């Protein structure tokens, strides 16, 4: 690591010269290198012999020799060997390191050329030895000093070593830290790689985005241009709008005034509608609350009937004329004619529409809140069903479908004036004084029985009868078809039954004008009566006798009721027959009644026609009291 501190040992080593190292090297090694060591130790063998003093003095080394020059010799003369080496040999081996002091006169050793002491010069040798010893002592002292220095240095170095060890520990800790850091850094590096990958991806994306941006910029520029154009257009439009707003304000003002006018006119319209109803009713009352129309059926083979004459001057007279043979035989024949006057007489050529036009005013009265009852009276085959129901084609449709159509159309028109209507239809047959629901759709075996009930508010209802809510003309026509189907089923079981039963179609009408808090309620009742022909008692037997009794009873009671109403009798015998009981609400003071007397033009029906016209004439003479509207 470059951050590691430089070892101080280098400095320590630099203080010691290579010579010093050699000086303090082990003595053995240096001895081996010394050539003097191979030489025979003659000096040792001559210890104790005398030598001259001068020689000794000459052989003595100078005292001022450098301490370091004797280092190796000190080791060489270590006490472990017990051998004293000659100083000369050791110093000679050192070369230039041990320089003798200048001016020294000591005899040279054999190696260096110094004079050798003679064998006898023991003193000189001793002196040399003493010199050597002193020299060695000096050197030992200096070595000791050096040793002390070295010890101090060593202690210092040891301290340093401890310090360095501590530093080393620290550094090892640091290394661990650094290694951890390195690991972390390698993680960082991998992260960095990832990031750099991501970066390159992002750069690519950026490139594509930049190209897109350029496209968008182009687009923006074009849109800005467009925007400018639009702004210009907008300003034009704004000025137009301002003009239009001014116009709108004027128009709103006009609308307000028109709304006021409409409200005023609506008031007037309502008042007008009420006035129309009042006048309409007045007219109907002037015409009579019970009216009788006579209708002559065309001859089945075509042509004109001879015995029925209709007044050409008006359409209210009918004359029955018959020429009979004289019973006395005095005259060839007797001419008898019977004149009858009705509210209206329709000849064989009268269309269904012409007939309906006359009763449509009464249908309007039903919508205005008056009970209306319209029934057809006449012998079998005289045209009652044709008048009331008619045929399938539009032209031949009878009073019931036309009345239904008128009711729904008128209700729709009145809706614009705030009226809302609900309609309930029922269709019932009275046969042999028994009621039968013609709108029944269940199993024949489970047909319920019916009773006529009168509520506290004098409303007549039939128990278990189907009362169907209807809202369209088609729904009602569907119910009429269902009723005809039910009648036809009964007819096959019992021949010619329809001629011997009364069928009563009732449409209950309820109108509400919520805005004006006005309500009205009425019933439009359209009845196809059973054939009115009388049967000779002797010819009527069994069921037929029972039927005829029931029919005659109910028809004659109808006449009685109408007569009682006309005479304002205290008791009106409604309950004497199912027919009058059921029609109670539609007959009398609170209703408008229309009777069709249908006439068969055939000569053999003369008697029945006469009877029918007589009955109708009686009814026509009745003036039933003023009808009151069912309005709240
Ligand atoms: N005004 C008329 N114009 C043309 N055809 C008529 C007219 N009146 C009745 N008819 C025809 O005469 C026939 C008998 O008429 P319708 O069935 O209406 O008599 P009805 O009195 O109802 O008889 P019933 O009492 O048996 O029911 C029918 O075929 C009918 O189409």
Decide if pLDDT at 72 tops 50.
no
Decide if pLDDT at 198 tops 60.
yes
Percentage of the chain modeled with pLDDT above 70: 74
Name the residue with higher pLDDT: 256 or 487.
256
As a whole number, the mean pLDDT across the chain is: 78
Percentage of the chain modeled with pLDDT above 90: 31
Q: Write the secondary structure of 90-107 as one string of H (helix), E (strand) and C (coil).
A: HHHHCHHHCCCCCCCCCC
Token pair recorded at residue 212: 């897109």
382 is in an annotated binding site: yes
CB neighbours of 356 closer than 8 A, spacing ≥ 6? 398, 399, 402, 403
Is residue 438 a contact partner of residue 450, using CB atoms and an 8 Å limit? Answer: no
How many other CB atoms are found less than 10 A from the CB of residue 550? 22
Residue whose CB lies within 8 A of the most ligand 1 atoms, among 345, 376, 385, for a mutation test? 385
What pLDDT, on a 0 to 100 scale, did the predictor assign at position 117?
80
d(CA 610, CA 319): 10
pLDDT digits (tens, 9 = 90+) for 621-632: 776 555 555 555
Is residue 403 a contact partner of residue 391, using CB atoms and an 8 Å limit? Answer: no
What pLDDT, on a 0 to 100 scale, did the predictor assign at position 221?
92
| SS3 (DSSP) at 420 | strand
Beta-sheet strands, E only, within 176-332: 290-296, 308-310, 317-325
Lowest mean pLDDT among 132-141, 202-211, 282-291, 464-473: 282-291
Mean pLDDT of 237-262: 90
Is residue 292 a contact partner of residue 342, using CB atoms and an 8 Å limit? Answer: yes
d(CA 51, CA 17): 40
| SS3 (DSSP) at 301 | coil
pLDDT band at 80 (very low <50, low <70, confident <90, very high): very low
What pLDDT, on a 0 to 100 scale, did the predictor assign at position 597?
96
pLDDT digits (tens, 9 = 90+) for 109-167: 444 455 678 888 888 888 888 888 888 888 888 888 888 888 888 888 888 888 888 88
Query: Was domain 289-306+349-621 assigned CATH 3.30.300.30?
Result: no
The per-residue DSSP string of 263-309 comes to: HHHHHHHHHHHHHHHHHHHHHHHHH-SEEEEEEEPPPTTSS--SSEE
Is residue 78 a contact partner of residue 30, using CB atoms and an 8 Å limit? Answer: no
Q: What is the DSSP letter of 518?
A: E
CB of 601 within 6 A of ligand 1: the answer is no
Decide if pLDDT at 320 tops 70.
yes
For β-strands 317-325 and 333-341, DSSP reports them as antiparallel
Mean pLDDT of 38-64: 43
Is residue 374 a contact partner of residue 594, using CB atoms and an 8 Å limit? Answer: yes
For β-strands 344-346 and 452-454, DSSP reports them as unpaired
Is residue 429 a contact partner of residue 500, using CB atoms and an 8 Å limit? Answer: no
Residue whose CB lies within 8 A of the most ligand 1 atoms, among 293, 305, 351, 381, for a mutation test? 381
Cα(49) to centroid of ligand 1, in Å? Answer: 199
Is residue 582 a contact partner of residue 450, using CB atoms and an 8 Å limit? Answer: no
pLDDT digits (tens, 9 = 90+) for 400-409: 999 999 999 9
What pLDDT, on a 0 to 100 scale, did the predictor assign at position 598?
96
CB of 378 within 6 A of ligand 1: the answer is yes
Decide if pLDDT at 5 tops 70.
no
Which residues partner with 338 through β-bridges? 320
pLDDT digits (tens, 9 = 90+) for 513-538: 888 788 889 999 999 999 887 765 44
380 is in an annotated binding site: yes
| Interior/surface letters 196-212, b for 16+ CB within 10 angstroms, e for the rest | eeeeeeeeeeeeeeeee
Q: Model ipTM?
A: 0.98
Token pair recorded at residue 604: 């053999």
pLDDT band at 85 (very low <50, low <70, confident <90, very high): very low
In 3D space, the residue among 512, 542, 301, 547 whose CA is nearest the CA of residue 420 turns out to be 512
Domain residue spans of the chain: 9-151, 289-306+349-621
Is residue 11 a contact partner of residue 157, using CB atoms and an 8 Å limit? Answer: no
Mean pLDDT of 490-499: 62
pTM to 2 decimal places: 0.58
What pLDDT, on a 0 to 100 scale, did the predictor assign at position 339?
93
């Amino acid at each position: 690591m470059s951050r590691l501190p430089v070892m101080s040992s280098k400095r320590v080593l630099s203080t010691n010269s290579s010579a010093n190292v050699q000086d303090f090297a082990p003595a053995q090694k240096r001895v081996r290198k010394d050539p003097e060591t191979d030489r025979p130790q003659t000096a040792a063998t001559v210890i104790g012999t005398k030598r001259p003093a001068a020689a000794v003095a000459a052989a003595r080394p100078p005292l001022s020799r450098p301490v370091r020059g004797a280092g190796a010799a000190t080791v060489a003369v270590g006490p472990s060997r017990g051998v004293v080496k000659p100083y000369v040999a050791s110093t000679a081996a050192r070369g230039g390191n041990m320089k003798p002091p200048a001016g020294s006169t000591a005899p040279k050793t054999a190696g260096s050329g110094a004079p050798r002491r003679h064998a006898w010069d023991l003193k000189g040798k001793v002196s040399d030895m003493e010199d050597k010893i002193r020299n060695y002592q000096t050197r030992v002292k200096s070595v000791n000093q050096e040793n002390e220095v070295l010890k101090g240095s060593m202690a210092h170095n040891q301290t340093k070593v401890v310090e360095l060890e501590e530093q080393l520990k620290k550094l090892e800790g640091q290394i661990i830290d650094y290694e951890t850091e390195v690991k972390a850094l390698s993680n960082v590096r991998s992260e960095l790689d990832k990031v750099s990958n991501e970066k390159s991806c992002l750069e690519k994306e950026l490139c594509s985005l930049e190209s897109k941006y350029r496209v968008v910029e182009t687009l923006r520029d074009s849109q800005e241009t467009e925007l400018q154009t639009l702004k210009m257009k907008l300003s034009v439009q704004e000025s137009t709008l301002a003009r239009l707003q001014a116009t709108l304000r004027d128009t709103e003002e006009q609308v307000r005034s028109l709304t006021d006018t409409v409200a005023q006119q609506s008031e007037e319209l309502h008042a007008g509608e009420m006035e129309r109803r009042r006048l309409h009713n007045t007219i109907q009352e002037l015409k009579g609350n019970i009216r009788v129309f006579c209708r002559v059926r065309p001859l089945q083979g075509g042509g004109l009937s001879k015995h029925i004459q209709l007044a050409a001057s008006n359409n209210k007279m009918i004359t029955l004329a018959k020429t009979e043979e004289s019973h006395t035989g005095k005259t060839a024949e007797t001419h008898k004619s019977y004149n009858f006057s009705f509210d209206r007489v329709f000849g064989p050529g009268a269309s269904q529409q012409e007939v309906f036009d006359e009763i449509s005013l009464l249908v309007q009265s039903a919508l205005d809140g008056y009970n209306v009852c319209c029934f057809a009276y006449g012998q079998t085959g005289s045209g009652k069903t044709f008048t009331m129901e008619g045929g399938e084609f539009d032209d031949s449709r009878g009073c019931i479908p036309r009345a239904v159509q008128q009711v729904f159309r008128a209700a729709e028109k009145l809706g614009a004036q705030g009226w809302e209507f609900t309609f309930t239809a029922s269709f019932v047959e009275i046969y042999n004084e028994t009621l039968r629901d013609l709108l029944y759709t269940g199993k024949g075996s489970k047909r319920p029985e019916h009773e006529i009930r009168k509520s506290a508010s004098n409303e007549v209802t039939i128990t278990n009868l189907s009362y169907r809510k209807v809202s369209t003309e088609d729904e009602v026509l569907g119910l009429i078809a269902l009723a005809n189907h039910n009648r036809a089923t009964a007819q096959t079981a019992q021949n010619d039954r329809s001629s011997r039963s009364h069928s009563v179609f009732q449409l209950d009408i309820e109108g509400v004008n919520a805005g004006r808090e006005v309500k009205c309620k009425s019933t439009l009742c359209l009845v196809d009566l059973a054939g009115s022909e009388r049967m000779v008692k002797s010819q009527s037997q069994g069921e037929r006798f029972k039927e005829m009794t029931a029919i005659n009873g109910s028809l004659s009671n109808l006449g009685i009721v109408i007569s009682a109403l006309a005479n304002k009798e205290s008791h009106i015998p409604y309950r004497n027959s199912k027919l009058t009981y059921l029609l109670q609400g539609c007959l009398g003071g609170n209703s408008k009644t229309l009777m069709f007397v249908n006439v068969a033009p055939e000569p053999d029906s003369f008697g029945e026609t006469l009877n029918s016209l007589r009955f109708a004439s009686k009814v026509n003479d009745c003036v039933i009291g003023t009808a009151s509207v069912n309005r709240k």
